[in-house]
Amino acid sequence: MTDNTPPSGTSRGWFVTGGSSGIGRELVLAALTRGDRVAAVARRVDALADLDERFPGRLLALAADVRDQDAVRGAVDETTDRFGRIDVVANNAGYGLFGAVEESTDAQARAVFDTNVFGVLNVLRATLPVLRGQRSGHILQGSSIYGQLAPPGVGLLAATKHAVEGMSDALAAELAPLGITVTLVEPALTATPFLSNLDFAETIEDYDQTVRTVQESLGGLPPEAFCDPVRAAQAILNAVDSGNPPRRLALGRQAEIDLRAALTDRLKDLDRWAETTRGVDS
């Protein structure tokens, strides 16, 4: 087990991307409330002014676009100048693209990878030298239930989250000997502005029976079908504090149900085709 607690008597230093809204903002608030210092990154940071007033001197609101490597490096430098260390990196900034795989344009597909995957890499490249230097730290990788499954309409969003999951498994093994922990955060649908920030693909009628059906069912969900972002943030904080965090933190009852079904289906396929699988050995 890795002990990622900062030296005794000091509060943790956080670097949270997408800290201005939704799950990220609630995480920023939860960390500030427990006495930590937080650098919150977003393109627009006005939404953090109230937290700056409530927690004077402990919030660093940094305007940066995660797609811009230099801007991210600048934000990390400001954070270490102010806090002296970074204990927790929350790679949380992201947005969704909705539409069938074929419906999404090349530009839309590349744009969502730019933020959700290459933005994550920009943050990792900028923060890991700090964490490696400390020989401690916890990286929270913003995934989703769509990091392990993908219903119609979320293929490209899921592709970005699967990419984050793939890199994070390797990253975790690479960083473990250096005292750094990696946790993938996998929320189910959560009541944040995420759905109103979705990019939509143009529609092709042939996908109405699948993609639009999913879209309609999402649109008709009652409020109680969504996770509470305050509870999600608290659950993430609890995992950070636990001393023994999971590789994957599923958030929400629906996440547990859907992930269990997806994993069971995968195992069933592996079992059903095991003879063929083994049959190709030389």
Ligand X SMILES: NC(=O)c1ccc[n+]([C@@H]2O[C@H](COP(=O)([O-])OP(=O)(O)OC[C@H]3O[C@@H](n4cnc5c(N)ncnc54)[C@H](OP(=O)(O)O)[C@@H]3O)[C@@H](O)[C@H]2O)c1
65 forms part of the interface with ligand X (CB under 6 A): yes
Decide if residue 24 touches ligand X (CB under 6 A). yes
* Shortest Å distance, C-beta 21 to ligand X: 3
Match 């890499």 to its residue by tokens: 121
Position of tokens 């500030």? 32
- CB of 177: closest distance to ligand X in angstroms? 28
DSSP 189: S
Distance CA 71, CA 130 (A): 16
Residue 92 contacts ligand X per CB under 6 A = yes
Is there binding between residue 144 and ligand X (CB under 6 A)? Answer: yes
How many of the chain's residues bind ligand X (CB under 6 A)? 29
**Range in contact with ligand X (rule: CB under 6 A) among 92-100, 168-176, 200-208, 212-220:** 92-100
17 touching ligand X, by CB under 6 A: yes
Q: Is the CB of 6 or the CB of 76 nearer to ligand X?
A: 76
Q: Which of 6, 13, 153, 187 binds ligand X (CB under 6 A)?
A: 187
131 binds ligand X per the rule CB under 6 A: no
| β-bridge partners, 187 | 251
**Is 165 one of the binding residues for ligand X (CB under 6 A)?**
no
Interacting residues of 11 by C-beta distance below 8 A, sequence separation 6+: 35, 36, 37, 58
Taking the least distance from each CB to ligand X, the nearer of 6 and 188 is: 188
Q: What gap in Å lies between CA 269 and CA 263, rounded to an integer?
A: 10
The Cβ of residue 159 has, within 10 Å, a number of other Cβ atoms equal to: 20
Interface with ligand X includes 194 (CB under 6 A)? yes
Look at the alpha carbons of 14, 167, 233, 214 in this order and tell me if their dihedral is positive or negative: positive
Pairing type for strands 88-91 and 137-142 reads parallel
CB 163 within 8 A of CB 76: no
Q: Which of residues 43-62 bind ligand X (CB under 6 A)?
A: 43-44
Nearer Cβ to ligand X, position 5 or 234? 234
User: How many whole angstroms separate alpha carbon 107 and alpha carbon 110?
Assistant: 5
Q: Toward ligand X, which CB reaches closer, 41 or 130? A: 41
Residue 94 exposure: Cα atoms within 13 Å on the Cβ side: 28
Give residue number: closest CB to ligand X: 22
> How many DSSP H helices and E strands does the chain contain?
10, 9
CB of 16 to ligand X, least distance (A): 9
Answer for the pair 132, 85: CB distance below 8 angstroms, yes or no: no
What binding mask, one character per residue, do residues 256-275 give for ligand X by CB under 6 A, x or -?
--------------------
Question: Which residues bind to ligand X, rule: CB under 6 A?
Answer: 17-18, 20-24, 41-44, 65-67, 92-95, 115, 119, 142, 144, 187, 189-190, 192-194, 197
